[in-house]
Structure 1
Amino acid sequence: MIASPPPLSLYVHVPWCVRKCPYCDFNSHQAKGEPPFADYVDALLRDLDQDLPMVWGRPVQSVFFGGGTPSLMPPEQIDRFLQGASARLQLVPGCEITLETNPGTAEHGRFEGYLAAGVNRLSFGIQSFDDGCLRRLGRIHDSREAEAAVKLATDAGFDNFNLDLMYALPGQDLDMAVHDLERAFALGPSHVSHYQLTLEPNTLFAARPPACLPDDDLAWDMQEHCQALLAERGFEQYEVSAYARAGRQCRHNLNYWAYGDYLGIGAGAHGKVTFGHDGSILRRWKQRHPARYLASAGTPANIGGDDRVAPAQRAFEFMLNALRLVEGFGLDTFELRTGLPRTTIQPRLEAASARGWLEIAGDRVRPTPLGRRFTNDVVSLFLAPPA
Structure 2
Amino acid sequence: MPPSLPQSSSLLPPLSLYIHVPWCVRKCPYCDFNSHTTDGGEAIPEALYINALLSDLATELATVSGRTLHSIFIGGGTPSLMSAAGIGEILTFVKANIACESNMEVTLEANPGTFEQAKFAGFLGQGVNRLSIGVQSFDDQCLKALGRIHSAGQAKLAISKAQSLGFKRINLDLMHGLPGQNLKQGLADLDQALDFGTDHLSWYQLTIEPNTEFHSRPPNLPNEDILAEIQDQGQLLIEAAGLSQYEVSAYAKRGSQAQHNVNYWNFGDYIGAGAGAHGKISAWHDEAMIIQRRVKLRQPKVYMAAISALSSSHYVAPEEIKLEFFMNILRLQNGVPAANYLAHTGQSLAHAEPAIAAARKAGLMQPDRLQASPLGWRFLNDLLRYFE
Same fold (TM over 0.5): yes
Are 2:174 and 1:165 aligned? Answer: yes
Structure 1: where are the runs of 5+ without partners?
A: none
CA shift in 2, pair 1:108/1:263, >3 Å: closer
| C-alpha displacement of 1:334 | 1.0
Match of 1:303 in 2: 310
CA shift in 2, pair 1:108/1:23, >3 Å: closer
Asked if the contact 1:240/1:325 (under 8 Å) is kept, the reply is yes
| C-alpha displacement of 1:53 | 2.3
Asked if the contact 1:163/1:184 (under 8 Å) is kept, the reply is yes
Structure 2: where are the runs of 5+ without partners?
A: 1-8
Task: Determine helix, strand or coil for the equivalent of 1:263.
Answer: strand
> Residue deviations 1:220-239, cap 9 Å, x none?
22111111111111001000
Aligned ranges for residues 84-99 of structure 1 at < 5 Å? 84-99=93-108
* CA–CA distance in structure 1, aligned partners of residues 38 and 375 of structure 2: 43
Are 2:160 and 1:151 aligned? Answer: yes
Are 2:1 and 1:13 aligned? Answer: no
> Residue deviations 1:177-235, cap 9 Å, x none?
11111101122211000101100111111111102x11222212211111111111100
Q: Which runs of 4+ in 1 moved over 2 A?
A: 105-109
Q: When the two structures are aligned, how many residues end up with a matched partner?
A: 377
* CA–CA distance in structure 2, aligned partners of residues 222 and 108 of structure 1: 30
Match of 1:224 in 2: 232
| C-alpha displacement of 1:107 | 4.5
Asked if the contact 2:176/2:186 (under 8 Å) is kept, the reply is yes
Match of 1:246 in 2: 254
> Residue deviations 1:246-287, cap 9 Å, x none?
111000000000000000000000000001344111000100
Match of 2:278 in 1: 270
Asked if the contact 2:81/2:116 (under 8 Å) is kept, the reply is no
| C-alpha displacement of 1:365 | 2.2
* CA–CA distance in structure 2, aligned partners of residues 116 and 262 of structure 1: 25
Letter in 2 for 1:263: I
1:375 to 376, 380, 385: 380
Larger mean CA deviation between 273-282 and 141-150 belongs to 273-282
> Residue deviations 1:339-377, cap 9 Å, x none?
22112211211222222211121xx12212221121122
Asked if the contact 1:3/1:276 (under 8 Å) is kept, the reply is no
Are 2:82 and 1:73 aligned? Answer: yes
| C-alpha displacement of 1:245 | 0.4
CA shift in 2, pair 1:184/1:334, >3 Å: same
Letter in 2 for 1:371: G
Report the identity percentage: 48
Aligned ranges for residues 269-288 of structure 1 at < 5 Å? 269-278=277-286, 279-288=289-298
Match of 2:66 in 1: 57
TM-score calculated relative to the size of structure 2: 0.94
CA shift in 2, pair 1:324/1:107, >3 Å: closer
Asked if the contact 1:284/1:303 (under 8 Å) is kept, the reply is yes
* CA–CA distance in structure 2, aligned partners of residues 268 and 178 of structure 1: 35
> Residue deviations 1:265-321, cap 9 Å, x none?
00000000001344111000100000000011xx33x21101101110101100111
Match of 2:357 in 1: 350
Asked if the contact 1:71/1:105 (under 8 Å) is kept, the reply is no
* CA–CA distance in structure 1, aligned partners of residues 366 and 358 of structure 2: 11
Asked if the contact 2:80/2:116 (under 8 Å) is kept, the reply is no
Task: Determine helix, strand or coil for the equivalent of 1:307.
Answer: strand
Letter in 1 for 2:228: W
TM-score calculated relative to the size of structure 1: 0.95
